[in-house]
Amino acid sequence: MNLPYRFPDPREESYRRAQEFRQLSPTERWTELAALMAFGWKMVTSSPTHHLIEQRMEEQEVEAQRIQAELFRRHGR
């Protein structure tokens, strides 16, 4: 192992991964996104504090709906 070990530049790594994602077909992109969401939900449900996470998610949903209703009230017809 060569020391000091250098981690990749996060910007270069992000760019590289974005380029890889852009090469995927639309179906493959959806598959990747669905897998990421499933992984995230599995992390939530397996967390010892999942009830707090789910409560916060519910609060955020209620707030998003309130904001959307306010936007429609102000600008919608």
Nearest to 66 by CA among 32, 55, 58, 50: 58
Q: What is the pLDDT along the chain (77 residues), one digit of tens a residue?
A: 677 888 889 999 999 999 999 999 999 999 999 999 999 999 999 999 999 999 999 999 999 999 999 999 999 87
Nearest to 17, CA basis, from 5, 8, 27:
8
Alpha-carbon gap, residue 62 to 1, rounded angstroms: 51
What DSSP state is assigned to residue 52? H
- Give the pTM: 0.64
pLDDT of residue 1: 62
Q: CB neighbours of 32 closer than 8 A, spacing ≥ 6?
A: 21, 24
Q: Which positions ≥6 away from 24 have C-beta within 8 Å?
A: 32
